[in-house]
Amino acid sequence: MKVKLVEVGPRDGFQNVKTFIPTEVKLRMIEGLVQAGFKKIQITSFVNQKAIPQMKDAAVVAGAVLEQYEGVDFFALVPNFYGAKAAVEAGLMEIGPVISLSESHNKANVKRTVEESLEEMKKIRHTFPDIRMTQDIACVFGCPFEGEMEIEKLLELVGRLKTIGIDAFTLCDTVGLAYPTLIEAVFRAVRSEFPGVEFNAHIHDTRNMGILNSYIALQNGADSVQTAIGGLGGCPFAPGASGNTSSEDLVYMLNHCGYDTGIDFEILMNTARFARENIAGNYSGHQINITPNPCIVTQE
């Protein structure tokens, strides 16, 4: 059975790295991911450079990969209209705007209320009608400020966003509070309420349940799951948000369980080694360790 994995390392994996990663290193990482077989990659985010200096080369990265590769869907996270405008001007045809299910986290993350963010989504949709908008919904499975969120609140928000004209949704476990039965309940609920709509999963590995939760999401109707090379990543505006689910770990498991991921594991491992050699030493929070066994990538 085929499964779709979306690599978000070049954005979510890099945004917490304090020292600026040279643009050529970022492009080498993306090249490795393309060679490994990823057909959809989140390459950067168009955000305020003062808030996240790591992304100051977003337009350069986007321009370079769009010129070099065909047959791969590249997209970027955008927090607001100005980010969307910059992404479109850089040539991207898909953006990932972000809104939180939690009022507290939305204010911390994008400095807006949820209602203000909804108005921003309307403005983006009206101004750029031909751009694909895959909406990130943060804190679906729990918020560091407000705790576990109600599924009914999620269904209401998805309904409003769908009315605006959002094309697809990514349900995000922003701080790794999800657990298998909650993943199952959420995906069953959105599938029942919105048949035919694309729903993807973005699962963090805070409590070492990233692989299990990602698998449960796939089993309960997720159209894709997002992972990050080396398990790097985490939301800088959500206390306790550690790394994403490791691309290598999930690919290894799925490939050996009979799933067709389309990902070459050895090339992916070589890219992970490149990450350790060129990025991990500067990473604030987690140190990637590639063990002598080439099948294991862990975090400490």
From residue 17, give the alpha-carbon distance in Å to each of 90, 136, 234: 23, 21, 10
Catalytic (active site) residue 143:
no
Catalytic residue (one of 139, 143, 172, 235): 235
The answer to whether 222 touches 193, Cβ cutoff 8 Å, is: no
User: Among all residues, which ones are annotated catalytic?
Assistant: 235
